[in-house]
Amino acid sequence: MNDATRQPIRFLLSDMDGTLLLPDHSLSSRTIDAVRALREAGIYFSLATGRPPRAMLAQIKTLGVDLPTAAFNGGTIVHPDGRFLARHHLPVDAAITTIELFSTQPEVEVWVFADGEWLLRDPHGPMVPREQHGLGYPPVVVKGFEEYLPRIDKIVAASNNASLLVELEAQLQARVDGQAQVSRSQPVYLDVTAMEANKGQALVTLAAFLGVDLAHTAALGDGGNDPAMFHKAGLSIAMGQAQEEVRRQADRVTASNVDDGAAQAIERYILAR
């Protein structure tokens, strides 16, 4: 154990899907109780997710989160009353490059998040029902994305062909280097956001807002967009079902989300201090 992981934790920033949430997107009673115990112990708690703000409201209410939360991988940090603490749109050139690349792939569904909506051209894509269930609201069908280019929060390539998304991730990173963040929030989702829109920067912003030194922060997650906050946090914890590449970048590994790994991590690594 290094010096950083010995520090008492004052703020935990957690991913949602695959971390706090079960595969059906619900919260277990043990997880709800663990988060409540954090707050009762005077430890700040908030959420960082690839989801849009609108798709976090039910979980925010259930968990009693009263701090700003980070949506779109940190591209939007919003107060409970809807005011923005930070907001970063994808540069237009990067958005055009991304949409053009993704649109050449027949196995990829292209989704754009802008103006508070989930936009797509094909409402019958095989990945749509899964996303609609997770978000809790339907998409808006558009003929094209041109009018939204200056205001895009996130672009997603969705595909059941996970290996294809790995290839596209490498291709796109080379094309938008220095302009955008490219990461797989889940094996079937490839997210593209502004450079400032990453969970590491979200942790830094929220910690500064709360007046908490980064050495006293913890990060919990399972996806390819979570190591960005692992590298900033005083203590980082990966979920047991996370890919090896993610797990090896964390200080600790807990159980999987189906085994209440988030609650176990809170109890063992944070509250126990």
Contact between 73 and 198 (Cβ < 8 Å): yes
Give 149-203 pLDDT, tens digit per residue.
999 999 999 999 999 999 999 999 999 999 999 988 888 999 999 999 999 999 9
> Is it the case that residue 1 has pLDDT exceeding 60?
no
Give the residue from 175, 193, 211 where a domain finishes.
193
Contact between 159 and 109 (Cβ < 8 Å): yes
Give 47-80 pLDDT, tens digit per residue.
999 999 999 999 999 999 999 999 999 999 999 9
Quote the pLDDT of residue 2. 47
Shared-domain flag, residues 188 and 248: no
Q: pTM for the complete prediction?
A: 0.86
Shared-domain flag, residues 235 and 102: no
Shared-domain flag, residues 169 and 241: no
Instruction: Find the largest Cα–Cα distance for the chain.
Output: 54
Shared-domain flag, residues 21 and 145: no
Shared-domain flag, residues 79 and 43: yes
Give me the residues paired with residue 181 across strands.
193
What are the E-state strand segments in 143-202? Answer: 152-158, 180-186, 189-194
Across the chain, mean pLDDT equals 95
Shared-domain flag, residues 79 and 137: no
